[in-house]
Amino acid sequence: MAMTLFQHVRQRHTPELAALITAIADGAATIERRIRTAGLDDILGAAGSENVQGEAQQKLDVLADNTLIEVLKALPSVAAVVSEEDEEPVIFEGRPNAKFIAIFDPLDGSSNIDVNVNVGTIVSIQALKPGVSVREAILQPGTEQIAALYVNYGPSTILVYTAGNGVHAFTLAEGEFLLSSEDMKMPEQGPYYSMNEGNIGESQLVYGKAISRFRDGTLVGGKKYSSRYVGSFIADFHRTLLKGGVFLYPPTKKAPNGKLRLLYEANPLSFIAEQAGGAASNGRYRILEIVPTEPHVRTPLIIGSQSEVAAIGGLISISPRE
Ligand code: AHG
Ligand code: MN
Ligand code: MN
């Protein structure tokens, strides 16, 4: 039988980190089971509440959030969790030896739940070092992450993680995540750009220029690009990890700091991108070096193969600030 996720992490890291990543994977397997038959269990559609982002919560957002909080609360090594779905961090009191903070987007791609398109779970793990408060530990830059993972609930359910020693993928089979790809590398350059082109008129002109130059092949390596956009970040990123290219969510009038959240979308997937030989920036700076001001802060995001991320960054650096 292929290596299990626990065996893989335990061979390289501490028992507590292996137990933490495995517990998150168990939570993801529970979420996956609910997604598989969502249409039969009246858990599709809106929950009738709003989250801190001012977005209507889907029933599955709330279910996934509760599932992850439960599995993490059961681990004494976890001091607190931060979730897209909860305004304030959930602090587990009376844990003097706790080592980790788990920061997550329990269900990414909520707009795709009801139409049976891939959705995911994204988790960033930060360390709680002695003498540092939980709040300070939450607001560390992405360079400090201990580990990052996402689960892509699709035709296969695939968990991809890094703990600083490469990117590895596991496929869910009978409730167990089994090793399916080891030490994954993102192609240097890819065939795709991925952006919600409905926002082109809303973003700075430089992004429209970048897209038109992807289309006519004058931006990177003389190749004409194809467009792919799923609308679930984990699905657009997973394709970019495997095939190369670039995903971008620039600032828009509606989201002047970008739509994606730094702590539980951009940071974990930027850590994975860099570990696979890719790159991630906000247009001017490396995502992982941004120091967060608050847990739900948003960021513009350009993430993918080195060539494309650099090319867009280069265009921005010579473009007048609008
Ligand atoms: P979430 O469902 O966790 O709120 O995330 C949705 C995000 C991300 O998954 C995706 O890339 C982006 O929203 C799509 O935004 P648009 O619909 O504006 O393109
Ligand atoms: Mn999301
Ligand atoms: Mn979400």
Give residue 110 CA to ligand 1 midpoint distance, Å. 7
Q: Return the closest-CA partner of residue 278 out of 262, 257, 302.
A: 302
Asked if pLDDT for residue 258 goes beyond 80, the answer is yes
User: Rounded to an integer, what distance in angstroms lies between the CA atom of residue 187 and that of residue 319?
Assistant: 28
Any idea which architecture 192-317 has in CATH?
Answer: 3-Layer(aba) Sandwich (3.40)
121 lines ligand 1 (CB under 6 A): no
Q: Are 68 and 27 in contact (CB under 8 A)?
A: yes
| Mutational pocket test of ligand 1: of 111, 228, 296, the residue with most ligand atoms within 8 Å of the beta carbon | 111
Q: What is the pLDDT of residues 192-231, one digit of tens each?
A: 999 999 999 888 889 999 999 999 999 988 889 999 999 9
User: Rounded to an integer, what distance in angstroms lies between the CA atom of residue 106 and that of residue 318?
Assistant: 38
Instruction: From residue 230, give the alpha-carbon distance in Å to each of 187, 214, 236.
Output: 20, 18, 6
Give residue 233 CA to ligand 1 midpoint distance, Å. 6
Looking at the DSSP bridge assignments, the partners of residue 259 are: none
Ligand 1: residue whose CA is nearest its atom 8: 233
Ligand 1: residue whose CA is nearest its atom 1: 108
252 lines ligand 1 (CB under 6 A): no
Concatenate the DSSP letters of all residues of 110-179 into one string.
GGGGGGT--EEEEEEEEE--TT--HHHHHT--GGG-SEEEEEEESSSEEEEEESSS-EEEEEEETTEEEE
Query: How much is the pLDDT for 143?
Result: 98
300 lines ligand 1 (CB under 6 A): no
Instruction: Give the residue-averaged pLDDT of 147-157.
Output: 98
Give residue 243 CA to ligand 2 midpoint distance, Å. 21
Give 275's pLDDT tier (boundaries 50, 70, 90).
very high
105 lines ligand 1 (CB under 6 A): yes
CB neighbours of residue 10 within 10 Å: 16
192-317: same fold as 5-181? no
Ligand 1: residue whose CA is nearest its atom 18: 196
Give the position of tokens 């009978």.
Answer: 174
Give 23's pLDDT tier (boundaries 50, 70, 90).
very high
Give 278's pLDDT tier (boundaries 50, 70, 90).
very high
Q: Return the closest-CA partner of residue 21 out of 183, 110, 145, 173.
A: 145
Q: Are 53 and 108 in contact (CB under 8 A)?
A: no
Looking at the DSSP bridge assignments, the partners of residue 171 are: 158, 178
Ligand number with the minimum distance to the CA of 254 = 1
Q: What is the pLDDT of residues 46-97, one digit of tens each?
A: 777 877 777 777 789 999 999 999 999 999 999 999 999 999 999 999 999 9
Domain locations in the chain as residue ranges: 5-181, 192-317
Give 167's pLDDT tier (boundaries 50, 70, 90).
very high
Asked if pLDDT for residue 39 goes beyond 90, the answer is no
Which of 126-155 are b and which e, b meaning 16 or more Cβ less than 10 Å from the residue's Cβ?
Answer: bbbeeeeebeebbbbbbeebbbbbbbbbbe
Give residue 181 CA to ligand 2 midpoint distance, Å. 24
Give residue 109 CA to ligand 1 midpoint distance, Å. 5
109 lines ligand 1 (CB under 6 A): yes
Query: How much is the pLDDT for 154?
Result: 97
Q: What is the pTM of this model?
A: 0.96
Domain covering 5-181, topology: Fructose-1,6-Bisphosphatase; Chain A, domain 1 (3.30.540)
User: Rounded to an integer, what distance in angstroms lies between the CA atom of residue 103 and that of residue 275?
Assistant: 19
Q: Are 236 and 228 in contact (CB under 8 A)?
A: yes
Q: Is the dihedral of CA 109, 113, 116, 121 positive or negative?
A: positive
